[in-house]
Amino acid sequence: MATLSERLLRRALHAYFRVSRGLTLGVRAAVFDREGRVFLVRHTYVRGWYLPGGGVEAGEDALTALARELAEEGNIELTAPPVLHGVYWNRTASPRDHVLLYVARAFRQGAPRGPDREIAETGFFAPDDLPAATTPATRARLDEILRGAPVSPLW
């Protein structure tokens, strides 16, 4: 669990980036295994279960960022290009933040990451048996992908 000072520092850095940068871009992936289960991540610094992903850094393209985030959060290596599912405005993070959501079904995974300062837990879950704390945005994206719900412009 992150200490109070670590959480405050993360929030301060996030606030700084919100005002010091122009448009921000993030990537996330709905990674499905052969059984149709989806990979989710629970971080130490925010509540809930999320699709893995993170920010695209300066000088980095979206697919490189996605590959980096999947490796960092789940020891997942894509073995085929993911499919872009949608582009979303994430107004809860910042009035300038957007997220690219990809669907990945071809990958290999090394030994899952153990808990550390950033990742509390990870796992594959059946879409009809998600952890109770799965975020509403994650549930909405899975409904779009798996049940044909209309794709929202909002994360």
pLDDT tens-digit readout, 52-66: 999 999 999 999 999
Q: Is the pLDDT of residue 40 over 70?
A: yes
Query: What is the average pLDDT value for the chain, to the nearest integer?
Result: 92
Query: What does the block give as tokens for 126?
Result: 């059946």
Q: At 96, is the pLDDT very low, low, confident or very high (cuts 50, 70, 90)? A: confident
Give the mean model confidence (pLDDT) for residues 2-11.
76
Percent of the chain predicted with pLDDT > 90: 75
Contacts of 88 (CB under 8 A, 6+ apart): 98, 99, 100, 101, 152, 153, 154, 155
Both tokens of 140, joined, read 């909405």
